[in-house]
Amino acid sequence: MSVELVIVPVSEPECRLVLDPAGVQASSPSRERDVARFFDLSTQMLAIATFEGDFVRLNPAWEKALGYSRGELRGKPLASIVHPEDGALLSAQLDLLQTATEALNSIELRCRRLDGSYRWLSWNNVALGAERLIYVTVHDITQRKTEENALRESEERLRLLVEGVHNYALVMLDLTGRVLTWNAGAERVHGYKSDEILGRSFSIFEVASDVAAGKPEKLLKLALEQGVAEDEGWRVRADGTRFWANVLLTALKDQNARLTGFSKVTRDLTAKKQAETLLKAADLQNAIFNSSNFSSIATDERGVIQIFNVGAERMLGYAACDVLNRVTPADISDPLELIERARALSLEFGAAVAPGFEALVFKASRGIEDNYEQTYVRKDGSRFSSVVSVAALRDAQAAIIGYLLIGTDNSARMQVQESLLESQAQQRTIVENISEGVVVSDLDGQLLHFNCVALDLLGYTSLEQGRRYIIELADTFELCGLDGTPWPVSEWPLARILRGEKLSDLEGRMRRIGEDWDRCFSFGGNIALDATGQPRMAIVTFRDVTERKLARDVASRMNAELEQRVAERTAQLLTANNEMEAFSYSVSHDLRAPLRSLDGFSQALIEDCADKLTEDDLDNLKRIRSASQRMGQLIEDLLKLSRMTRAEMSLQRVDLSKLACEVLDELRSAEPGRGVEFEIQEGLIAGGDQRLLRIALTNLFSNAWKFTGRRADSRIEFGCSGPEDARTYFVRDNGVGYDMAHAGKLFGAFQRLHAIHDFPGTGIGLVTVQRIVHRHGGRIWAESTLGQGATFHFTL
Amino acid sequence: MERVILLVEDNPDDEKLTVRALKKNNIANEVVVARDGVEALDYLFGAGAYVGRDPGRVPALVLLDLKLPRIDGHEVLRRIRADDRTRRMSVVILTTSGEEQDLIDGYNGGVNSYIRKPVDFTQFTEVVRQLGLYWLVLNESPHSVLQVGS
């Protein structure tokens, strides 16, 4: 702990004023009492000591400040409560007072309290030489002292820090960027002494181009806006050299947040940067040198191996220690190859080259770049092929100090070549064995290759025969389209492919000129691209489709014949149809006319000659009439049936329920006397021809109506079953029914299952219904039990 | 004077039966029979065998069969309707044909009625009775009006 001694000068009169208590004391007893009271009441420590330094009298304030009783201190030396380190100071001051060179002094001392702690006390001592007494006024300055010390220590530390920092330039700038303070680090970093730089703008540190670009101002602005601005870049020293710097600019603000200036911390990173760069370069070199993909062998100028990298170790099987300073690369090379190389070099350069290391570096030693294929002999005696690049190593004076032989692992390349050859062989095998002919040409149309099939197809016996230009083939072959149109050479498949067309299934005929050789081929092909997408060659494939063509011709001829036959049949059918219509027409006219005559004239006889004829005669005439009319009806029904088959269908939505009601109404009105119960399901809608369906329903209901005629409780039902898309409709009656044994005859024309006198009819009705149902793509069937009615089912 | 009925009919049986049916129904108009289309047109327009006949004397009714030798019934109808003198004449097709096409052609050609001859003579007689009643008695034709006027 430091101690400060403060000497306070006191003027003479003031001193006297204070130091003349005796005078005051003497003047009156009450005054003396007052003084004594002041002495006792003073909060300041007051004491009288002897010249020797012992307490004589103390006021009560001492007790309060230090904890001792006055009795404990009285008669004791002052020094007994003073810090041992301050003892000397005290005694020196007391000495001064005694020698009377100074009658008055003031010292600050640390004094021990009763509890052992220390207080800083300021002692004002006044010596009265005559009485050999010292009057002491003491007050406690511990508080001030502690604060002062703390401040001092802090400032000192900061100063030491700033002064002592050599690696950083710590500089204060004013608002405009002028330098206010300069530390040792700044001197070291920037190279200016403080008197050279103080007051100058910090832009002096920047390189000219940055100054021109306004960088210093920008940095200040940035620091002002963001509080801090950091920048890394080149700076200029006082001597003009550059250094790589990291600069941190901080805005300084006072308690009122008013800008007072900037602090600038600059660090020289040049060394670090260089180190980084060096490190990188060294790493790179190391990485290259240690790459196991290259054998790097460095020798001295005589060829003795000095460096043998991991690549060399891996490729050649030697450890570096096996060869370093022991052998030359020639010692681990194929000797025969060396001899050959030496011979070749001797010939080339007209100088004797020894079949040793010299042969390996001869060219390099003469400054000629040299790359060659070299066979090393591995430690285990096996051979290893390498492509070696040789360079001479020279010192600063260009004298050769060694050689560097860098070799690549050629075996990998050899392997690639082998696998390439293998895959080529495979490809060749494929090309040779596919069933199509393959011809390969270069982009100029020179035919490079024919596979066996191609040779075979073209009638060549050897590859040599086939190796021609496309144009030469025109001497041998003619090509034409299947339709016989000749193809000029420029339209031959290869020519088209060479123009960039992609062909597939192009069929054409090929003929050998002057020979009986005529085949049909299907051609294909395209330009083949290499790995980089560049056109490399043209490929034409072709296969013999002569047989296929023949087969196809036969097929198409048969097709044509078939079509012809179909056309003929159609025509015949049309004719038949027309004939049928003509027939129907004439039936309608010509067959009916005689019937009319039969009927008419029979009737005329009956009318005109009734009185001349017997009953029997009349009956016979009636029979003629009846038969005529019946035949007329038959013809009528036949014509209807024929019309049913021929009529155009017009499909629409038909409300079968409504249709059934209408038909039944007609039946009822035709025979109003009959009481028949109907049950017609509602909402039966179907797609069909309304007119035809009406005829069908009319026939079915007429039948039902007819065959229920003998029952009193006749009942006819119409309904459907099944899902909407596969409905089955039915017409059911409770009439006489029929025997299912004859069901097969139901739908035959003119087939009747009942005697004509029981139930009249021509046997055409159900055939007509069946025709109509069939024309709607449906089917119809019936079920019945004799005497228990019949049900007709149909679909549409 | 009663106007004639022109019966165009090639079948003699039908001709006889038709005439009989007319008589049976007490239709007393003179019946002129043409046995094919040409004859019918000759009669109507005063040509051929009928040169000199006044075409202005239009029959009261033409009963026209369709299937006729030389010129068929449809063509006869076409020519009747194409000529101003006969354009408004009552023409009834009386035929055996029930073909739809014949019906359509007949009406398209401007026929006044299309009757199918039934096989049953009793029915036929009834048809003829109705024809006569309708076309010769009830129906007013322009020609009958004109004729009354003249």
pLDDT digits (tens, 9 = 90+) for A754-776: 666 666 666 777 888 888 888 88
What is the rounded average pLDDT of the residues A220-245? 88
Does position A21 have pLDDT exceeding 80, yes or no? no
Residue from B120, B123, B125 whose CB has the most chain A CBs within 10 Å, to mutate: B120
Q: What is the pLDDT of residue A8?
A: 46
Q: What is the pLDDT of residue A729?
A: 92
Q: What is the pLDDT of residue B1?
A: 46
Q: Do B120 and A625 touch (CB under 8 A)?
A: yes
Residue type, A675: G
Q: Residues A452, A485: contact at Cβ < 8 Å?
A: no
Q: Residues A469, A463: contact at Cβ < 8 Å?
A: no
Residues of A with Cβ-Cβ distance to B15 under 8 angstroms: none
- Give the chain A residue whose CA is nearest to the CA of B121: A600
Distance (Å) of CA B8 to CA A25, A400, A431: 192, 142, 92
Facing residue for B119 by CB, picked from A585, A604, A632: A632
- Please state, in angstroms and rounded to a whole number, the distance separating the CA atoms of residues A791 and A784: 6
Q: What is the pLDDT of residue B137?
A: 78
Residues of B with CB under 8 A from a CB of A: 11, 13-14, 17, 20, 67, 95-100, 117-122, 124
Q: What is the pLDDT of residue A100?
A: 65
What is the rounded average pLDDT of the residues A725-752? 79
Q: What is the pLDDT of residue A101?
A: 59
Report residue B2's pLDDT band, with 50, 70 and 90 as the boundaries. low
What is the rounded average pLDDT of the residues A657-686? 86
Residues of B with Cβ-Cβ distance to A634 under 8 angstroms: none
Facing residue for B121 by CB, picked from A593, A600, A633: A600
Residues of A with Cβ-Cβ distance to B67 under 8 angstroms: 589
Facing residue for B99 by CB, picked from A585, A595, A602: A585
Report residue A25's pLDDT band, with 50, 70 and 90 as the boundaries. very low
Q: Residues A302, A284: contact at Cβ < 8 Å?
A: no
Report residue B47's pLDDT band, with 50, 70 and 90 as the boundaries. confident
Residues of A with Cβ-Cβ distance to B98 under 8 angstroms: 588, 636, 639
Q: Do A596 and B121 touch (CB under 8 A)?
A: yes
Q: Residues A156, A150: contact at Cβ < 8 Å?
A: no
What is the pLDDT of chain B when averaged over all its residues?
A: 85
The C-alpha of A597 sits at a distance from chain B's nearest C-alpha, in angstroms, of 6
Q: Do A604 and B97 touch (CB under 8 A)?
A: no
Q: Which two tokens stand for residue A783?
A: 């079920």
Report residue A107's pLDDT band, with 50, 70 and 90 as the boundaries. confident
What is the pLDDT of chain A when averaged over all its residues?
A: 82
Q: What is the pLDDT of residues A129-159, one digit of tens each?
A: 778 888 888 888 888 888 888 888 877 777 7
Q: Do A604 and B122 touch (CB under 8 A)?
A: no
The C-alpha of A724 sits at a distance from chain B's nearest C-alpha, in angstroms, of 36
List CB contacts of A259: < 8 A, sequence separation 6 or more: A175, A224, A251, A252, A253
Q: What is the pLDDT of residue B62?
A: 92
What is the rounded average pLDDT of the residues A682-695? 87
Does position B77 have pLDDT exceeding 90, yes or no? yes
Distance (Å) of CA A53 to CA A10, A40, A62, A69, A85: 22, 21, 16, 18, 17
Report residue A463's pLDDT band, with 50, 70 and 90 as the boundaries. low
The C-alpha of B64 sits at a distance from chain A's nearest C-alpha, in angstroms, of 14
ipTM value > 0.90: no
Strand partners, B113: B92
Residues of A with Cβ-Cβ distance to B128 under 8 angstroms: none
Q: What is the pLDDT of residue B93?
A: 92
Strand partners, A782: A792
Q: How many CA atoms lie within 13 A of A526 on its CB side?
A: 7
State whether residue A737 is helix, strand or coil.
coil
State whether residue A682 is helix, strand or coil.
coil
Report residue B145's pLDDT band, with 50, 70 and 90 as the boundaries. very low
Q: Do A596 and B117 touch (CB under 8 A)?
A: yes
- % of chain A beyond a pLDDT of 90: 2
- Please state, in angstroms and rounded to a whole number, the distance separating the CA atoms of residues A319 and A548: 71
What letter does residue A77 receive in the DSSP assignment?
B
Residues of B with Cβ-Cβ distance to A585 under 8 angstroms: 97, 99
Of A47-61, A87-101, A446-460, B133-147, give the range with the top mean pLDDT.
A47-61
Q: What is the pLDDT of residue A465?
A: 65
State whether residue A533 is helix, strand or coil.
coil
Q: Do A593 and B98 touch (CB under 8 A)?
A: no
Strand partners, A672: none
Distance (Å) of CA A368 to CA A351, A361, A392, A740: 16, 10, 9, 118
What is the rounded average pLDDT of the residues A335-344? 89
Report residue A412's pLDDT band, with 50, 70 and 90 as the boundaries. low
- Give the chain B residue whose CA is nearest to the CA of A586: B97
- % of chain A beyond a pLDDT of 70: 91
Q: Residues B46, B55: contact at Cβ < 8 Å?
A: yes
A-to-B residue pairs, Cβ atoms closer than 8 angstroms:
60
- Give the chain A residue whose CA is nearest to the CA of B98: A588
The C-alpha of B97 sits at a distance from chain A's nearest C-alpha, in angstroms, of 6
What is the rounded average pLDDT of the residues A60-84? 87
- Give the chain B residue whose CA is nearest to the CA of A622: B120
Q: What is the pLDDT of residue B78?
A: 92
Q: What is the pLDDT of residue A666?
A: 87
- Please state, in angstroms and rounded to a whole number, the distance separating the CA atoms of residues A302 and A320: 18
| Alpha carbon B135 to its chain's center | 11
Q: What is the pLDDT of residues A74-96, one digit of tens each?
A: 888 888 888 888 888 888 888 88
Q: Do B17 and A595 touch (CB under 8 A)?
A: no
Residues of B with Cβ-Cβ distance to A592 under 8 angstroms: 96, 117, 119
User: Tokens 């101690």 identify what position?
Assistant: A3
Return the closest-CA partner of residue A448 out of A468, A474, A432: A468
Compute φ and ψ for A519, nearest 5 degrees.
-125, 160
Q: Residues A508, A523: contact at Cβ < 8 Å?
A: yes
Residues of B with Cβ-Cβ distance to A638 under 8 angstroms: none
Facing residue for B96 by CB, picked from A592, A628, A629: A592
SS3 readout for A405-424: EEEEEHHHHHHHHHHHHHHH
Does position A23 have pLDDT exceeding 70, yes or no? no
Q: What is the pLDDT of residue A11?
A: 42
Q: How many CA atoms lie within 13 A of A271 on its CB side?
A: 4
Q: Do B67 and A589 touch (CB under 8 A)?
A: yes
Q: What is the pLDDT of residue B33?
A: 92
Q: What is the pLDDT of residue A751?
A: 66
Of A617-626, A641-650, A740-749, give the range with the top mean pLDDT.
A617-626
DSSP assignments along A351-386, one per residue: S---TTHHHHHHHHHTT--EEEEEEEE-TTS-EEEE
Q: What is the pLDDT of residue A466?
A: 59
Q: What is the pLDDT of residue B148?
A: 38
Residues of B with Cβ-Cβ distance to A608 under 8 angstroms: none
- Please state, in angstroms and rounded to a whole number, the distance separating the CA atoms of residues A598 and A601: 6
Q: What is the pLDDT of residues A195-226, one digit of tens each?
A: 888 899 988 898 888 888 888 888 888 888 88
List CB contacts of A257: < 8 A, sequence separation 6 or more: none
Q: Do A603 and B97 touch (CB under 8 A)?
A: no
Residues of A with CB under 8 A from a CB of B: 585, 588-589, 592-597, 599-604, 625, 628-629, 631-633, 636, 639, 643
- Please state, in angstroms and rounded to a whole number, the distance separating the CA atoms of residues A491 and A539: 16
Does position A13 have pLDDT exceeding 60, yes or no? no
Does position A5 have pLDDT exceeding 60, yes or no? no
What is the rounded average pLDDT of the residues A569-583? 79
A291-295, A444-448, A499-503, range with the lowest pLDDT? A291-295
Does position A788 have pLDDT exceeding 70, yes or no? yes
